[in-house]
Amino acid sequence: MSIDLVLIQRFEAVYRLGSFSRAAEELLITHSALTKSIQTLEAKWDVRLFDRTTRSIIPTEAGRRLALTASDLLAHSEKVRADAIAGELQLNLICGPAVIDTLMHGALLEFRKTHPQVAVQIETMPPDLASDRLIRRQAHLLLFHSTTVEGLKNRSELKLQKLVSEAYQVVFRPGHPIEETDGSLSAILAFDWAIAGFDSKFQNALPFEQRELLRRRGFPKYRILNQSACLELAMRSDIVTMLPASAAAPLVAKGACRTLPFPGGAAFSISAVTHAAQAPSQTVQAFLSAITTSLAI
């Protein structure tokens, strides 16, 4: 059965305002036209949505259930309309939190040089939810750790392109007691860690012995979806964090922190994820090029 969004919009106005007269005024239509619309919707669905008296209208149980989803339906239709109009002028990205803090600043600066007219929205969420959004065409591009996206349930519907792969560095404040250890994984895990975006799929991709050691030590103690916050904690306490080598290097050069190699060779490996059944748009390709250019600077 098809859904007439005009009828849904008129139902939602009557339900929200509790009055045919006020709803008709808001919608800029006549009272009789609005009444006919509600009657048409009720006839199409063979259900009564309002109980009417001379003094009031009361939603039926069916009306209340429809009201729960009507607003979301109308909002989604508006987003679809806006996306269709915006076309190549809107880019929706979903990234891991470490990607936002590490790659997005430079990429956006490069991207706006060639595409100043394109609006960009960047958000973060769990990878499973992000991949569902991509498949439903509610996002244009995902940027997550490669091991994370390899383990997604809908991997066959996704196309991966590796963009970055570099070593992680253990990051801590100058004078931290970690410098007195032998730098082994067991030794550095004796300290509290704050990590951005550490998820189960990434952990499960680690070698078994390393994975079990992290599990036994309760790693990480603090999981914060913001890498800058993790770094701030490390700079102001004995908490330890980790950064890609390229992100850590400028901080070390300024004397703001010290680093050690992360034992076991864990890598900051980021992949771009697009829909396997649809070629990336020119805007998406341009943004990926901007990431590559920013990394080379």
Last residue of one domain, picked from the residues 55, 85, 115: 85
Say whether both 184 and 44 belong to one domain.
no
Q: Which residues pair with 120 in a beta bridge?
A: 91
State how many domains the chain has. Answer: 3
Say whether both 168 and 264 belong to one domain.
yes
Say whether both 71 and 138 belong to one domain.
no
Say whether both 52 and 194 belong to one domain.
no
Say whether both 93 and 150 belong to one domain.
yes
Q: Within a 10 A sphere around the Cβ of 95, how many other Cβ atoms?
A: 22
Say whether both 222 and 186 belong to one domain.
yes
Say whether both 222 and 181 belong to one domain.
yes
Say whether both 168 and 253 belong to one domain.
yes
What region does 199 belong to: left with phi over 0, alpha with psi -120 to 50, or beta? Answer: beta
Say whether both 204 and 59 belong to one domain.
no
Q: Which domain holds residue 253?
A: 164-268
3-state class (DSSP) for residue 261? strand
Say whether both 114 and 71 belong to one domain.
no
Ordered per-residue pLDDT tens for the chain, 297 residues:
568 889 999 999 999 999 999 999 999 999 999 999 999 999 999 999 999 887 788 999 999 999 988 888 888 887 777 666 655 688 999 998 889 988 999 999 999 999 999 999 999 988 889 999 999 888 999 999 888 888 888 888 999 999 989 999 999 999 999 999 999 999 999 999 999 876 666 666 677 787 888 888 888 899 988 889 999 999 999 999 999 998 999 999 999 999 999 987 778 899 999 999 888 889 999 999 999 999 887
- Contact in structure between 50 and 57 (CB atoms under 8 Å): yes
Last residue of one domain, picked from the residues 56, 85, 114: 85
Last residue of one domain, picked from the residues 26, 53, 85: 85
**pLDDT recorded at residue 16:** 92
Say whether both 176 and 96 belong to one domain.
no
Alpha-carbon gap, residue 9 to 24, rounded angstroms: 11
**pLDDT recorded at residue 204:** 67
pTM of the shown model? 0.66
Q: Which residues pair with 261 in a beta bridge?
A: 169
247 Cβ partners below 8 Å, 6+ apart? 101, 102
Q: Which residues pair with 272 in a beta bridge?
A: 143, 161
